[in-house]
A and B are shown apart, each in its own frame.
Chain A
Amino acid sequence: MARFIVRRLIASIFLLIVVSAVVFLLFYVFPSADPAQLRAGRQANADQIQAIRESLGLDKSVIAQFWIYIKGVFTPLDLPGTDSHGPLYFGHSYQSNADVKDVIFSDLPATVMLVVGAVIVWMGVAIPTGIISAVRRRSFLDRATMITTLIFISAPVFWLGLVFLYLFADDVGLIPIFPGIGSYGAADTFAGKVGAMILPWLVLGLATAAIYARYLRSQMLDVMEEDYIRTAYAKGLPDKRVIMKHTLRSAITPIVTLLGLDVAVLLAGNAILTETVFNIPGVGAETFNAIKRSDLPMIQGITLFGAFFIVTLNLVVDIAYAYLDPRVRYD
C-alpha cells in the first residue's frame, strides 16, 4: 500500500507537470495582451516595455519561459523580474492587479463552504432516497421519486437557482424565508454566511442528489440480485440488516468514487453556475469573470489548481477503495 501511494504521488506530480505544459502552451499560443505592456501601464514608452519584457524573461525561448513557469509553480526558486516566488506562483493578474494564488485562496473559502454544505445535502437526501426506492421498487413512492429526480436532473442548475430564488429569496420570493442573491458577500458574520448559503446548498445539493439517488438505487438493485444477499436471507437475518449491512455496503463503494471526483471538479471551479446565479465570490465565479476579461494568468492558475484537486482526490478515492473493498489490492 505504501509503495502504491508513493508511486501514485510520483505519477500525480508528473501528471500535473504535463497539465502545466498544456496550459502553458495554450497560453503561449493564445493571442493575448502583452504582459510587459500590461505591467508597464499606458504611459510607458517602447524602451521601458522592452526592459520589462527582458526582466520578466518574455524575450527568451518557449522552453526557457516554460522553465520559469514551472519553477514558479513547483519550486521555491527565485523568479526573474519579480519579487514573488513559488511554489504555487501562477503569475500575476494585471486585470485585477493581484497575485493569482492570492486571488484563488481568497475565493476558496466560499467555494469550500458551498461544496461541503451541498455534499451534506446531496448525500443526506440521496442515500435514504436511493435505499427506499430500491427496497420499495415499483411502488408509488419509488415512481414518484424517480420522476422527481428526473426533473431535477433535466433542469439546468441556473434555472433551478432562479426558481428557488423566485420561491424563497427574502427580497423577491413568494415565500421570503432565505437570504437571496449577493447575501454571501454582504454577510459579515459566520451565521450570516451560513444563512446566505442555504439556497445555494439546496440548489446544488438537490440537483446532484437526484443523480446520486438514481445511481444508488440501481446499484442497490444490482447488489440485491447477488447470491450472497440470498445467503444472508437464508441465514434468517432481518431485512433491515441485509439491506444496511450487506446491500448498502456494497452498493455505496462506487458512489464513493463518484463523490470524490464530483467534489474535486466542484472545488476546481465547476460550481460556476451556482456561484454565478447567487453571486457567491468563489472559484467558479472567479473563473467566469476571468473568462469574461480574458485574464489568462488567472484562467491558467485556476485550471492548474483544479487539476491539483482532481489528481489529489483521485488518489484519495483509490486509497479509500482499498479500505472499502478488501478484494482491491494495490502493489
Chain B
Amino acid sequence: MSAAEENAAILEVADMRVWYGTRGDPVRAVDGVSFSIGAGETLGLVGESGCGKSTLGRGTLGLLPPMASVSGSVRYDGRELVGMDPKELRDMRGPELGLIFQEPMTRLDPLQTIEKHFRETLRTHEPDLDDDEVRRRSLEALAGMGIPPTRFKQYPHEFSGGMRQRIMIALALVLNPKVLIADEPTTALDVIVEAQILGILADLRRNFDTAVLLITHNLGIVAEACDRVAVMYAGEIVEQGDAREVFAEPAHPYTRELLRATISLETTGLNYIDGAPPSLIDPPPACRFHPRCPNAMAVCAELAPEETTGGGGQRVRCWLNGPEERIPEGGREPLEREEIAAAEEA
C-alpha cells in the first residue's frame, strides 16, 4: 500500500458490483471491485475494452442508466455515495466529483455555445456568480487548455475533436473537483493532443491535489501518467499496485499479456492476446482468465483465486501467486483444455 492510499484516501470503493438489465440474465459488468485513491494521486485503470472500466467509472459517480443496479460501497471524503439522496449526490457532481468522457465529439450539446456550457455549469453550483466572474473563470479554464477567448461564443461543431476534448476537460476543471474520473480521455485523439492532455492531468495533481482515476486501455499512458495501476479483467480487478512495480514485475498473466501486447504494438504490431474477453452475462467459472491464460493450472478452472501480495508489493488474484496451502492436490497440473470442442465449434 502506498503512503497516499493509507493516509488520505479521498475515494474508497469497496466490493462494488454493477449489473445491467433487470429481466433475464443480467450483465455483471463490475463484479466485486475494491480500490482507493488518495488526494493528488493518479490511479490508472486498464483492461481490454468491454471489461467494465467505464461502468466502474460511472458507477462511482452514480451515473449509471436506470436499468443498472449497484451494490457495495463508494466513500468520498468519508461520505457514502451508494444509496445517497440523489439531490445531494447531484450537488457533489461537478465541484467534488468530475467526469471526463471518452467520446469528445458528441459530449457537448450541439445547440449551445461554449459560453453557455460554462455559464450553466458554474451557475448551477455557484448561483451567486455574476456575469463577469463567470466569464473570467471560464476563460481562465479554457486558456489553461489552450483554447483562445476569441472562440468562447462558438458552437461545438466549430471545433476539432482534440479541442472539444480540451473544452470538456476545462468544463470539468472549472469547478476544481477533488476527484476526477477520466474515461479514456485521449483514445479518440492523435498522439500530440494525447501528450498535451496527459500533461494537463499531470499538472492537475501537482497543483490542485486532485485525485484522478484515469481509465485507459493503453498501458503506455499508465506508465507515463499514473502513480498506481489497477488491471481489470471481465468485471474484476485482477492486479493492482504501484505502477512502476507492477510493470517491472507483473504478477498476473493477464497483466503480462497486456504488457507484451503493448510493447510489441510499438515494435512489430503483431502481438495480441489470443481470444476475446468473455461475455459478462455468463463469465467463465473460477478464474475468469483461465480459458485464455498461457499458464492456466487445473485449480484455475475450479476455484476463484484469492487476493495475495505479489513480488512488487502489488495485490494480485492469481493461483500462480498462491496461497500455496489453498491449492488442492494436483491443482498445479497444467490445465487440460477442451481443444476438441473448440476445434469443432470453429
* Contacts from A to B (Cβ < 8 Å): 226-228, 230-238, 241, 245-246, 249-250, 324-327
Q: Is the CB of B157 within 8 A of A327?
A: yes
Q: Which of B120-128, B223-231, B249-257 contacts the other chain?
A: B120-128
With A249-B111, A326-B110, A326-B155 as given contacts, are A227 and B124 in contact (CB-CB < 8 Å)? no
Question: CB-CB contacts of B148-175 with A at 8 A, as 1s and 0s?
Answer: 0000000101000000000010010000
Q: Which chain B residue lies CB-closest to A229?
A: B109
From A234, A250, A324, A327, residue with most partner B Cβ within 10 Å: A234
CA distance A324 to B111 in the complex (A): 8
Q: Mark B86-122, 1 if CB is under 8 A from A, else 0.
A: 0000111111001101010011111111000000110
**B116's closest neighbor in chain A, by CB?**
A245
Q: Which residues of B contact A236 (CB under 8 A)?
A: 90-95, 124-125
Return the contact of B93 from the options A233, A246, A325 (Cβ within 8 A). A233
A227 to B124, CA, bound (A): 20
Q: Once bound together, how far apart are the Cα atoms of A231 and B110, in whole Å?
A: 12
| B63 lies within 8 A of chain A by Cβ | yes
Chain B residues contacting A235 (CB-CB under 8 Å) are: 93-94, 120-121, 124, 171
Query: Given the complex of chains A and B, what is the CA–CA distance between A132 and B94 in angstroms?
Result: 27
13 further interface pairs, Cβ-Cβ under 8 Å (given A228-B106, A230-B63): A226-B106, A228-B110, A234-B101, A235-B171, A236-B92, A236-B95, A237-B120, A237-B121, A237-B124, A249-B111, A250-B109, A326-B155, A327-B110
A325 (CB) vs chain B CBs: closest residue: B111
Contact call A231/B107, Cβ cutoff below 8 A: yes
Please tell me if the beta carbons of B91 and A227 are within 8 angstroms of each other in the complex: no
19 chain-A/chain-B pairs, Cβ below 8 angstroms: A226-B106, A227-B101, A228-B109, A230-B107, A231-B101, A231-B108, A233-B93, A234-B93, A234-B99, A235-B124, A236-B91, A236-B95, A236-B125, A238-B124, A241-B120, A324-B111, A325-B110, A326-B113, A326-B157
Complex: A235 Cα to B95 Cα, angstroms:
9
**Which residues of B sit under 8 angstroms from A237, Cβ to Cβ?**
90, 120-121, 124
In the bound complex, CA of A235 to CA of B107 (Å) = 12
Find the B residue at minimum CB distance from A253.
B111
- The yes or no answer to B61 lying at the interface (CB within 8 A) is yes
A-B interface pairs (CB < 8 A), number: 69
* Most chain B CB inside 10 Å of its own CB: which residue of A226, A231, A324: A231
CA distance A227 to B110 in the complex (A): 11
CB of B106, distance to nearest CB on chain A (Å): 4
**A249 / chain B contacts, CB cutoff of 8 Å:** 109, 111
Known: A236-B94, A326-B110. A231 touches B157 (CB 8 A): no
1/0 contact trace for B251-289 toward A, CB 8 Å?
Answer: 000000000000000000000000000000000000000
Which B residues are in CB contact (< 8 Å) with A325?
110-111
Contacting residues, chain B, for A230 (C-beta < 8 A): 63, 101, 107
Give A325 to B155 CA distance when docked, in angstroms. Answer: 10
Chain A residues near B94 (CB-CB < 8 A): 234-236
- Knowing A228-B109, A327-B155 touch, does A233 contact B124 (C-beta < 8 A)? no
Q: How far is the CA of A249 from the CA of B157 in the complex (A)?
A: 17
Q: Which residue of B lies closest to A226 (CB)?
A: B106
Contacts of B95 in A (CB 8 A): 236
- Known contacts A236-B93, A236-B95; A326/B63 CB under 8 A: no
With a cutoff of 8 Å between Cβ atoms, the chain A residues found around residue B99 in the complex are 234
| Nearest residue, chain A, Cβ from B181 | A234
Tell me the nearest residue of chain A to B125, going by C-beta: A236
CA of A227 to CA of B104, assembled, Å:
9
User: How far apart are A326's CB and chain B's nearest CB, in angstroms?
Assistant: 4
Docked Cα-Cα span, A233 to B62, in Å, equals: 10
Q: Chain B residues near A241 (CB, 8 Å)?
A: 120, 124
Given A234-B101, A235-B124, A236-B93, A227:B157 Cβ within 8 A: no
| C-alpha spacing A235/B61, complex, angstroms | 11
Alpha-carbon distance between A234 and B96 when the two chains are bound, in angstroms: 11
Chain A residues positioned under 8 Å from B91 (CB to CB): 236
Q: How far is the CA of A231 from the CA of B124 in the complex (A)?
A: 14
- Chain A residues whose C-beta falls within 8 Å of the C-beta of B155 in the assembled complex: 326-327
A320 to chain B, nearest CB (A): 14
By beta carbon, the residue of chain B nearest A329 is B157
B92 and chain A: residue at smallest CB distance = A236
CB distance from B342 to the nearest CB of A (A): 37
From known contacts A227-B103, A237-B120, A327-B157, infer whether A232 and B109 are also in contact, taking CB-CB under 8 Å: yes
Determine the chain B residues whose CB is within 8 A of the CB of A226 once the complex forms.
106
Whole-angstrom distance between the alpha carbons of A150 and B125 in the complex?
Answer: 42
Residues of A within 8 A of B108 (CB): 228, 231
> Whole-angstrom distance from the CB of A59 to the nearest CB of chain B?
61
On chain A, the residues within 8 Å of B120 by CB distance are: 235, 237, 241, 245
Q: Is the CB of B168 within 8 A of A231?
A: yes
A300 to B92, CA, bound (A): 66
Interchain nearest-CB distance for A322 vs B (Å): 12
The 4 A-B residue pairs with the shortest CB-CB distance in the complex, in nearest-first order: A236-B93, A236-B94, A227-B106, A234-B99
Q: Separation in Å of the A246 CB from the closest CB of chain B?
A: 5
